[in-house]
Amino acid sequence: MSQHFFSFFQQVPFLKETKIDAKKVWIVLASVIMMSSLVVFISRFIPKKYQSIAMVEFDPNPAPLMYNKEYPVFLNFFDNQEYYQTQYKIITSDRVLSRVVRELDLENDPVFMSSFGNKTGISLADMMDALRHQVFVEPIRNSRLVLVKVENADPKRAAYLCNAVVQAYVKQNLEKSINATADASLWLGEQVDRVKRVLEEDERSIYLFKEKNKLPSTSINEASNVFRLELQAYEEALTKTRTRKQELLAHQAELAKLSSEDPNLIITSGFLNNPFLQTLRSEYMHALKERSEMVAEGKGENYPAVWKVNEKIAQCRATLLAEVKNIQMVIEKDLQILERQEQGELRLYEDARKRAVELSVKEIEYNRLERSRKQNESLYTLLMERMKQADLERMMNVNNIRIVDNASESKKPISPRVGVNAVVGAVIGLILGVSVIVLQQTLDNTIKTPEDVEEKLKASYLGSFPHVREATKIHSYFQDKKLRKRTNAQIQEDAEELSLIAHRYPLGGIAEAARIIRTNLMFVNPDNPCRSFLVSSSMSGEGKTTTACTMAIAIAQAGHRVCIVDGDLRKPRLAAIFNRQGDVGLTNLLIGNVTFEDVSKPTEVEGLWSIPSGPIPPNPGDIVHSEKVNAFLEQVKKSFDFVLIDSPPLVAVTDGALMATKVDGVIFVIRSGKTTYQVARRGLRALSDVSVKVVGVVLNAVNSRERGYYHYYNYYSSELDSRRQDKHESIPVSVA
């Protein structure tokens, strides 16, 4: 069941993103349960509190009582918000709460005074503060309503105090309104008297102005219109006179140009068009025509008829000239008359214009006085109306704040809310548990994932082996005395069996992981593949021996001839794994007392040969550094397709680094969740110092639940558990 539990939590997106180990969910669950239980336990000892609520309505812009039209409401958001916030503060102000204290006589209330304990000298301010801590104001959004809440240990007392606070607030607002109206009415009365005196003064000023300037009692605008019509008439008459004068001057000038010796020009003048002149002209022209006819008939000047006609012509000319002179004299007399007429009309016009200008100046002053009078009259009317309205509002006790709902007794306490507190405690526990896990993982500097290998170590990742959990649960292990008494030999037997697990269970997760690593290893350098590998790690206990055996088995299962060599001349283990205890090995071969065929023996795995270390020498470093090792490696490469050498830890001794220089590449083993970045870097630095090629990193003992490997390796884990369950034994994934 726990397997499925961890598998379920490992699929949670948050755990995937934050890379939190699913096994550590128990910490979160324990924290949640502990905190919620603690909060519930504490909540049972908290005194109960009851809350009573009253609802109040505000009207920040009430319509006047005497307003007989639709009253305009000016909805200024910021002004309204300022008004509302002010009222919220007034509800819990000293003025309102002191009124509640006095009206309810809380000073002599033993229940209320018991909240002060044995304190003496309690002042009104102390009582108001105590009451203020019980009163809360909560506005209702998008409305003009507000909730007034009072909390108390007694539900009846909570309702009693809540109603008292609301009523005191409403009364205080009404008194403020009445006082403000009375003050306004008094001020308006003073202003009415002042404006009335000013209005009377304006009316008297207008009367004296008319009397002084002898203006008609009617409107001055009518007098102005009369002067304007008179001035217009004078102007028209003067214009006509001047026009007539100009006509006569033109006639006179035209007559002055005419010659008195040429009656024909006089007669043809366009100015002489009276009937008498026309008759004279006709007679004159007839006489000229008659003389012309006689001359044409050949009659001379001395001819009586011609002589008679000439006399007639002379008589007509003289008559015409005399008549022209008479006309000139008439024109001159008319011009004299028009000149005198023009002067008289001009004097009348100038006099009228002067009087019109004077009237305009008086009109400006009069209009100023009249305008002042009208303004004061309008102001007087408005003040009288407002004063009557203020008196009416004062008598009617108008209040713009009213109680919508009175407070009632509450049946359920508002605190402690055990359910809510339990949820809050659970949330706090959740946050605390997650914080602990995150802190643990933040402080954890071990390598766990392929991403850690590539990002932190900048090395190639070949693959990983899963951690094989114990066949029995932890609590069963501690309960079973036999398991607690396991000997080191039994533990070693488990480790040796685990090294051959890829052979015993070729379809298990370990074998499949080894095949993946084998495939990646073959493609490291396909053009020039490596044939000899050194399997090493930074420290002991990281599983390099198990990894070397598992990889050798996987390569042999692919049909290759493989030889695994125990190069750890300090703590060898291959002899025990392949049942070659006491056999000759590498040290015997290097000394020269045995042959290569004597130390190279086939194992139970087809295609796999093993060479144990042999007796432990006193100077392993010198032996590894000898030229015989190079000759040995050349011989083993010729005899086998692949060679894997198990070496000692790189950080502890120098044997591994020296042997690494003699192979094609190094497989670096890191135990997941145990090896730190610093230790792994030291091991890799030891290899880089001798210019050794690291083909890749193998992660060993990877927690399958930690990174989502659970389903992948579950098959093998179940198979191994089933096999070992009867023995009540455990098999750790890696033993150095």
Peptide bond into 139 cis (omega under 30): no
Residue-wise pLDDT for 423-434, tens only, equals: 998 999 999 988
Beta pairing class for 642-646 and 135-139: unpaired
Residue 64: per-residue pLDDT:
58
Does 457-476+489-722 carry CATH code 3.40.50.300? yes
pTM exceeding 0.85: no
Closest to 54 in 3D by CA, of 161, 132, 126: 161
Query: How is residue 652 annotated by DSSP?
Result: T
Residue 12: per-residue pLDDT:
55
Residues contacting 22, CB < 8 A, separation 6+: 6, 7, 9, 10, 15, 705, 706
Of the listed ranges 159-173, 435-449, 466-480, 584-598, the one predicted with least confidence: 466-480
Beta pairing class for 532-537 and 642-646: parallel
Residues contacting 25, CB < 8 A, separation 6+: 6, 9, 15
**437-457: average pLDDT:** 87
Give the span between the Cα atoms of 53 and 149, in whole angstroms: 5
Q: In terms of C-beta density within 10 A (0-12 exposed, 13-18 middle, 19 or more buried), how is residue 190 classed?
A: exposed
**325-337: average pLDDT:** 83
Give 389's pLDDT tier (boundaries 50, 70, 90).
confident
Share the mean pLDDT of the chain.
Answer: 81
Angle at 245 between CA 241 and CA 246, to 5 degrees: 120
Beta pairing class for 642-646 and 562-566: parallel
Give residue 246's identity as a one-letter amino acid code: Q
Of the listed ranges 159-163, 321-325, 336-340, 399-403, the one predicted with least confidence: 321-325
Residue-wise pLDDT for 71-90, tens only, equals: 455 556 666 888 899 999 99
- Residue whose entry in the numeric block shows the structure tokens 């630095």: 685
**Residue 342 in tokens:** 């023009």
User: Which one has a higher pLDDT value, 361 or 583?
Assistant: 583
Closest to 504 in 3D by CA, of 541, 550, 547: 550
Res 451 pLDDT > 50 = yes
Residue-wise pLDDT for 120-153, tens only, equals: 778 999 999 999 999 999 999 989 999 999 999 8
User: Which one has a higher pLDDT value, 5 or 638?
Assistant: 638
Closest to 562 in 3D by CA, of 500, 487, 645, 482: 645
Res 401 pLDDT > 70 = yes
Res 486 pLDDT > 70 = no
Give the span between the Cα atoms of 72 and 66, in whole angstroms: 14
Give 640's pLDDT tier (boundaries 50, 70, 90).
very high
**What is the CA 370 to chain-centroid distance, rounded?**
61
Domain boundaries, the chain: 1-46+416-443, 457-476+489-722
Give the span between the Cα atoms of 446 and 604, in whole angstroms: 37
Give the span between the Cα atoms of 561 and 609, in whole angstroms: 8
Res 329 pLDDT > 80 = yes
Residue-wise pLDDT for 712-726, tens only, equals: 444 444 444 444 444
